[in-house]
Structure 1
Amino acid sequence: MVVGAFVLLGPYVGGLVVWLMLAVDSFGGLARPLTIKDMLGFPFAGLIGYPFGAIPAAVTGLIGGALSASIRSKPLWIVLVTALGGLVSGMILGWSLLFMLPGVIGAFVAGLLALQVRPRWRN
């Protein structure tokens, strides 16, 4: 369930982050006002994250799920999977802010969703 949460949500959020980074950086920033076309196309921009982010998200979910049973604190687990998302994205996709920042933000959002389904700590 944890891996599914990460693979379902992480790459989509990461794709949106990449789109925003490219829109602000490569396309000259938000020099012109956003149009209706821009607003309607934004939700579809996240779909580009799946081909690139599915494997890093699955690895992050696997490791986060495996460690979940030994980490009682929810905030600590969120911090761990967030950092892990950036690290795994960097290792698989490349050590660039363009890959690592979407991995961090995608892992954070997916981790929040996975809090409801993560394995619980042992006594």
Structure 2
Amino acid sequence: MRYWFLVVLTLLLATSPAFAQTSAPKITGVYSSLRYNKEGGDLLGMELLVFPTKAGGYSAFVQIAEGGAPFTRVVPFFVEGSRISFVIPLEGAFAEMRFEGELKETSLIISLPNKEKQTLRRGKSYWQ
């Protein structure tokens, strides 16, 4: 009996660190809130395609739609733990806007410059 107790105790101690660790969410992929608004006939929302770079960081292809064809740019995408950020470059409608967010397992919660939050779901692109 004592032998089985020691076996079970050893197994529990050996596996408990594996259960205690939480894995970080996968960073690369498509995150989207793009949707077609039938009432206005407009495309609304944001979509990011996050991909690795040769330098070891990440970039994102950003699409932002506010009623017409999406504004698009490729931007550096910064990750610290589950926190992300990116800035739209100097040219265009969204010049110098900074976006921050939190990466979840199935979504990305983006804080817009006006302090509004938007959930971008991980999955397929709106265009697929």
TM-score, structure 2 as length reference: 0.25
More strand by share: 2
Bigger helix fraction: 1
Per chain length, whose mean CA-contact separation is higher, i.e. which structure has more relative contact order (CA < 8 Å, sep 6+)? 1
Q: TM-score, normalization: structure 1?
A: 0.26
Larger Rg: 2
